[in-house]
Structure 1
Amino acid sequence: MRIRNDRFPGGVHKALTLSYDDGRIHDRRLVGKLNEYGIKGTFHLNSGFLGKEGYISAEEAASLFTGHEVSAHTVDHPFLEQSPTDQIVSEIIDDRRALESLVGYPVRGMSYPFGTNSDRVVSLLPALGIEYARTVASHGKFQLPDDFLRWHPTCHHKQMMEYGEQFAKLEQRHTRMALFYVWGHSYEFENDNNWDLIDRFGEMMGGHDNIWYATNTEIFTYLQAVEQLRYSVDRHLVHNPTATSVWISVEGDSVEIPAGQIVRLS
């Protein structure tokens, strides 16, 4: 029996996520457009900047990003690899604490300020409650991350149409999960006077029943659940011990493995 762990929720092969940094006031317009097209994003906020000129207020964060995700970006946006260890700890922990008090859920991920990091910085993250961390090292591919603590995106949004066209047409000879990850800053749409870019992208990429639209944490949580599946020796039984339902393929057909259940595959 041929079994593959190659499906996102709903049995689809494709997923799309967007990721925006800094919490600028232009996030308001961007969120409205993402909501219009049914696309989800993760917004990495510097809690120390909230309420300052050009930034959203702390009071609006929870309501503004409803349906999306708020994630950490440190308190004051330093170069972490150039910071003392105790400062790295406080920048991340204090940012998580402040953001969690606003949105009412655990903040589990972050993006690196300036996109930079080091082995020392990365080694600290698990103890600080960080499960994923996005870089700015775009790789131009639709692949799952090899290392969630150095999660490289597909592209910056300046290239979103080029890669979006490729992703929309993507048909794989050998099925696997394909992830399209776009990052950027909302103020860049304003500075470049190209808000039409996100509209064209939304019209092209939104509303497809063969794409899972997800936040960064939703993708992380799902892929962790996939790894937790436990199969019997003969592969006729599979147990999903997690709280997240998972889809697999059996002889090419999608099969849901509900959260907390054992499923007989034949």
Structure 2
Amino acid sequence: MVTTSWDDGHRLDDRLAGLLDRYGIAGTFYIAPRNVELPLHDRLSPAGIRELAERFEIGGHTLTHRRLPRLTDAEATHEMRAGKEEVEAVTGTPVTSFCYPRGEYTGAHVASARALGFRCARTVRRHSLADGPPLELPTTVHAFAHRLDGPTAFRLARGRPWTAAGLFLRWDELALRWFDLCLELGGVFHLWGHSWEVEARHDWRRLERVLSHVGGRPGVRYLSNRDLPGTARP
């Protein structure tokens, strides 16, 4: 199974969606409609959100992208609920998936996600091919080069130093290796990222390389986050 997810609700999400369309890959776009970390002109407009919702799942990402553990439990629940309701009002469709901003959350936020009717909630934990608990979904690869990926790169390279160096320095190489491992062993390959981050790092060609490798495979199911196994009952 293959799923992808893209966070924040940046205007460049439309460009990223075009690549997913090109290679027949499903995606979930987690949108914070009043994201305080994005200038107003960089936020995806309501019209842009509606157009995206015609092709992809739209998930909740709070109202303003505030870091949940820094809020009271009541404030955090309000952020989660208000973001869900505003996106639903824009798209006219239920929002059943959620992503914790920056991947920061506590057990209270998991409970709030359940109470608010979210079927699944994505974290930022990486290097997993498991489907995971529906309200704490792990991921496989972030479309970003992490300097903490050294041990994982060395393990995937099976001790070959030059191969490990390539996996460590290039997230696209790491993604290809994880996907090929998923083909071999089974599981869920979950790629995630931010369109603004891909732009800032000039990584569009790397992203397209990964999507072209992953897409169009016989026997592979391409799913939105809400359609992953186990997400029907959080």
Q: TM-score range by the shorter chain?
A: 0.7 to 0.9
What does 1:127-206 correspond to in 2, within 5 Å?
127-138=115-126, 140-145=127-132, 147-158=133-144, 159-168=171-180, 170-172=183-185, 177-206=186-215
Matched residue, 1:210? 219
**Backbone CA RMSD of aligned residues:** 1.9
1:53-64 equivalences under 5 Å are 53-64=41-52
Contact 2:130–2:138 under 8 Å retained in 1: no
Corresponding residue for residue 108 of structure 2: 120
In 2, are the aligned partners of 1:20 and 1:186 still within 8 Å (CA)? yes
Unmatched tracts of structure 1, length 5 or more = 1-14, 228-266
Structure 2 counterpart SS, 1:211: coil
Question: Which whole-Å CA distance do the structure 1 matches of 2:193 and 2:21 have between them?
Answer: 17
Query: What displacement does 1:154 show?
Result: 1.0
Report how far residue 165 of structure 1 moved: 3.3
Question: How do 1:11-160 residues align onto structure 2 when only pairs under 5 Å count?
Answer: 15-49=1-35, 52-138=40-126, 140-145=127-132, 147-158=133-144, 159-160=171-172
2:155 corresponding residue in structure 1: none
Shift of 1:105: 1.5
Taking structure 1 as the reference length, what is the TM-score of the superposition? Answer: 0.71
Residue segments in structure 2 that go unaligned for 5+ positions in a row: 145-170
**Residues 160 and 142 (structure 1), Cα distance of their counterparts in 2 relative to 1, 3 Å cut:** farther
Q: Deviations over 1:130-177 (max 9, x none)?
A: 221111121x131121x11111111202334423334235323xxxx5
Give yes or no for the alignment of 1:223 onto 2:210: no
Normalised TM-score (structure 2): 0.81
Larger radius of gyration: 1
Q: Which has the higher strand share?
A: 1
Deviation at 1:224, TM superposition (A): 5.1
State the AA in 2 paired with 1:223: G
What whole-Å deviation, never above 9, does each CA across 1:47-104 have from its counterpart, x for those lacking one? 2249912111012212124221100000011111221122112111111111111222
Task: Give the % identical residues.
Answer: 29
Paired residue type of 1:152: P
Structure 1 residue runs of 4+, over 4 Å off? none
- State how far apart, in whole Å, the 1-side matches of 2:88 and 2:214 are: 31
Q: Is the 8 A contact 2:119 2:231 kept in 1?
A: no
Contact 2:30 2:98 in 1 (8 A): yes
| Cα distance in 2 for residues equivalent to 1:48 and 1:143 | 32
SS at match of 1:47: coil
